[in-house]
Amino acid sequence: MTVAQATFPIDLGAYQYISLDPAVSTLTDEQRQALKSNIQLCRDAIVFFTATGAARGVGGHTGGPYDTVPEVMILDALFRGNPDKFVPVFFDEAGHRVATQYLLSALAGDLPAEQLMHYREAHQKLPGHPELGLTPGVKFSGGRLGHIWPFVNGVALANPGKTTFCLGSDGSQQEGNDAEAARLAVAQHLNVKLIIDDNDVTIAGHPSEYLPGFSVRQTLEGHGLKVLEGDGEDLDGLYARICEAISTPGPVALVNKRAMSVGIEGIEGTTHGHDVIPVDAAIRYLESRGQNAAVEMLKSIEKPKHGYTFLGSSDKVGSNRNVFGEAMVEVLGGMSERDRKDSVLVVDNDLEGSCGLTQIRKAYPEIFVSGGIMERGNLSAAAGFGMEKGKQGVYATFSAFLEMSISEITMARLNFANLLCHFSHAGIDDMADNTCHFGINNMFADNGLDDGHETRLYFPADANQMRACVKKVFGDPGLRFIFSTRSKVPMILDADGNEMFAGNYTFTPGKDEVIREGSAGYIVTFGDSLYRALDAVERLKQEGIEVGLINKPTLNVVDEDMMAKVGKAPFVLVTEAFNRRTGLGMRFGSWLLERGYTPKFAHIGTHEEGCGGLWEQYPHQGIDPSGIMKKVKELAS
Ligand SMILES: Cc1ncc(C[n+]2csc(CCOP(=O)(O)OP(=O)(O)O)c2C)c(N)n1
């Protein structure tokens, strides 16, 4: 039986829709039993359906939603018992725990249980973070840590007389936003209750190790919140603390200690628990739970393949986000130990493995700071290190979070900081995490003035170009932003099939590059869009349309020679994965007009919310080869 025809293999009909009254802070045997059975049922369901994401290669998160099941079950019963007393929304600071929201939607009858087996799949409306309006039953959007508690404060202000809950985590509590939210909640005496999973695991490690001194409890107490700390797995204690929080007016935080993925063999207590559970571990867990139908279902799922062959680029692919780290290690290896220590500081934001920084930490731990999930403060710290001439601050996180740090970037510039930022996961490719994780507003980093300290934005197209770019710009002064995608990219080939950016190639900042000549008009693009546009160009040539292709790896500098060249062509099409409203295309048309060039002009880019899944995001936005070819034909006609 295929997943498409199958029923959900775990009987969610066994869920007991019990009610609880917070005025009674002890559980009867019957209530305790019902809660325990609901907890086990939901934990099994979460392991199973998140593992479908692992089986399909779309990833996901198991440990966080699995861990917080006890408190979610209690809140569900409380909401049912007193619907008017609460804002009945499971607001969650840690949006990656979205499996909780999807499971609740299924239990509430808003979503067929079968749908859960399509977790994170493209076009299935179950993306990696909750999106209001997309998934039936989902009641808020989340996904960026530290963004929901401040928002929930406002919800509480809009609902006087009710209690509003916010599920939190030791990861989200590291964000500066939460400190602000805590102060407002205390000052305004908001009836907000934080239910924080303090499992001492984030992505890159254990907060107790990389942020020694950080204590969720002491932090919140310092802000003036009442904090009730306890064992999240002690059901009676947890329930009693939730009741105490409800009966205490004003903001209260529950800090629930537990091991990550408690009870899952081989994963409990480890950082692996943060991500999606591997299929073999899920099978072992489900077998031990007697969930044999779920096991069979998992075994039957095949990883879909992306069968398209791109013309003009190699079969070989490179991971640019990792190549960034490798290239940095090479550059740093060329310095004396003393120079390196004196002049370079690398600051991570709990994403070192995702941004290619692990290589640097392993090679040169003495210049590496595991900064925790504090993008704004960490950017400023890296910039501050690079304030003196000859020093370099290096910083990395996901491109989506560049939006958080625009003000810090301005201050870094005004302080003449030398700062090299690597923003990985730029664009939309392979982003099952979906819209809140899209890295599409990167041009915001180019927010200086004409006479300001240098700011450069670079988006290398393949691994060869990334290596060349890092080596070239590492020692430059000013602010430099290097972008890479989550997905791997093939090598760009010249017309003879040779790798264009290999061998003796040197990267020249500010210079655009002709990838293919053409008489009908030019496509201008960069990054992971280049190989897709190249494929379109090759296919259009086969159809007799001779389109040229320009790579623009320096995004914010006008290459006058290239402007003169493309400006005289019949048309110019800018295609990009960046936001159509804020990307390169927005500027390129003005640059042409300012110089008196008036080719036919169009720009295509990301313009609507994502569809989940991986490579599917490109065709969804109409910026895949067929979308590009369609636009070229319109312009060429
Ligand atoms: C603003 C922001 N920065 C970084 C991330 C990337 N990120 C997602 S989850 C995570 C770690 C979260 O740890 P925690 O919230 O404690 O969750 P757990 O590991 O317990 O599931 C990070 C850094 C993000 N989603 N949002």
CB-ligand 1 contact for 276 (6 Å cutoff)? no
Instruction: Return the pLDDT at 410.
Output: 98
Ligand 1 atom closest to residue 143's alpha carbon, by position in its atom list? 25
Binned at pLDDT 50, 70 and 90, residue 401 comes out as very high
Rounded Cα distance between 603 and 81, Å, is 54
**pLDDT at position 3 over 80:** no
Give me the half-sphere count of Cα atoms (radius 13 Å) on the Cβ side of residue 213: 3
DSSP for 272-320, please give it.
GGGSPPPHHHHHHHHHHTT-HHHHHHHHH----------TTEEEEEE-H
Nearest C-alpha to atom 3 of ligand 1 is from which residue?
145
**pLDDT at position 1 over 80:** no
Instruction: Return the pLDDT at 2.
Output: 57
Binned at pLDDT 50, 70 and 90, residue 138 comes out as very high
CB-ligand 1 contact for 63 (6 Å cutoff)? yes
Per-residue pLDDT of 509-549, as tens digits, reads 999 999 999 999 999 999 999 999 999 999 999 999 999 99
Phi, then psi, of 634 in degrees rounded to 5: -60, -45
CB-ligand 1 contact for 261 (6 Å cutoff)? no
Exposed / middle / buried, residue 637 (Cβ in 10 Å: 0-12, 13-18, 19+): exposed
Residue among 350, 376, 434, 438 whose CB has most ligand 1 atoms within 8 A, to mutate: 350
Residue pair 393/386 in contact (Cβ under 8 Å)? The answer is yes
Q: Tokens 């799949």 label which residue? A: 121
Instruction: Return the pLDDT at 248.
Output: 98
Residue pair 574/478 in contact (Cβ under 8 Å)? The answer is no
- Tell me what the mean pLDDT of segment 108-122 comes to: 98
CA of 171 to the centre of ligand 1 (A): 5
CB-ligand 1 contact for 155 (6 Å cutoff)? no
Ligand 1 atom closest to residue 63's alpha carbon, by position in its atom list? 21
Nearest C-alpha to atom 9 of ligand 1 is from which residue?
96
Residue pair 271/350 in contact (Cβ under 8 Å)? The answer is no
CB-ligand 1 contact for 66 (6 Å cutoff)? no
The mean pLDDT value of the chain amounts to 97
Per-residue pLDDT of 204-224, as tens digits, reads 999 999 999 999 999 999 999
**pLDDT at position 5 over 90:** no
Rounded Cα distance between 412 and 460, Å, is 24
CB-ligand 1 contact for 350 (6 Å cutoff)? yes
- CA geometry: angle at 106 spanning 159 and 34, to 5°? 85
Rounded Cα distance between 60 and 276, Å, is 5
Instruction: Return the pLDDT at 530.
Output: 98
Instruction: Return the pLDDT at 343.
Output: 98
Which of the 8 DSSP states describes residue 439? Answer: B
Binned at pLDDT 50, 70 and 90, residue 161 comes out as very high
Q: Tokens 């006087």 label which residue? A: 160
Distance linking the first and last C-alpha atoms of the chain: 49
Instruction: Return the pLDDT at 399.
Output: 98
Residue pair 194/71 in contact (Cβ under 8 Å)? The answer is no
Instruction: Return the pLDDT at 275.
Output: 95
Per-residue pLDDT of 303-333, as tens digits, reads 988 889 999 999 999 999 999 999 999 999 9
Best CA proximity match to 256, nearest among 397, 72, 403:
72
For the chain, percent of residues with pLDDT exceeding 70: 99
Q: What is the CA radius of gyration of the chain?
A: 26
Per-residue pLDDT of 550-595, as tens digits, reads 999 999 999 999 999 999 999 999 999 999 999 999 999 999 999 9
Q: Tokens 């990307």 label which residue? A: 583
CA of 96 to the centre of ligand 1 (A): 7
- Tell me what the mean pLDDT of segment 343-370 comes to: 97
Residue pair 408/383 in contact (Cβ under 8 Å)? The answer is yes
Best CA proximity match to 141, nearest among 93, 197, 75, 72:
93
Q: How many CB atoms lie within 10 A of CB 218?
A: 12
Per-residue pLDDT of 432-459, as tens digits, reads 999 999 999 999 999 999 988 999 999 9
Residue among 96, 166, 177, 379 whose CB has most ligand 1 atoms within 8 A, to mutate: 96
CB-ligand 1 contact for 373 (6 Å cutoff)? yes
Best CA proximity match to 226, nearest among 193, 260, 261, 252:
252
- List, in sequence order, every residue forming a beta bridge with 175; answer none if it has no partner: none
Rounded Cα distance between 370 and 361, Å, is 9
Residue among 72, 196, 203, 376 whose CB has most ligand 1 atoms within 8 A, to mutate: 203
Per-residue pLDDT of 269-308, as tens digits, reads 999 999 999 999 999 999 999 999 999 999 999 998 888 9
Length of the chain as a residue count? 637
CB-ligand 1 contact for 145 (6 Å cutoff)? yes
Amino acid at 566: V
- Tell me what the mean pLDDT of segment 413-435 comes to: 98
Structure tokens at 285: 């867990």
Binned at pLDDT 50, 70 and 90, residue 128 comes out as very high
DSSP for 380-427, please give it.
HHHHHHTTSTT-EEEEEEEGGGGGGGHHHHHHHHHTT--EEEEEES-B
Amino acid at 222: G
Rounded Cα distance between 8 and 189, Å, is 44
Which of the 8 DSSP states describes residue 575? Answer: E
- List, in sequence order, every residue forming a beta bridge with 579; answer none if it has no partner: 606
Instruction: Return the pLDDT at 452.
Output: 84
- Tell me what the mean pLDDT of segment 107-128 comes to: 98
Instruction: Return the pLDDT at 4.
Output: 65
Nearest C-alpha to atom 14 of ligand 1 is from which residue?
171
Domains detected in the chain: 12-300 (3.40.50.970), 314-636 (3.40.50.970)
Give me the half-sphere count of Cα atoms (radius 13 Å) on the Cβ side of residue 476: 21
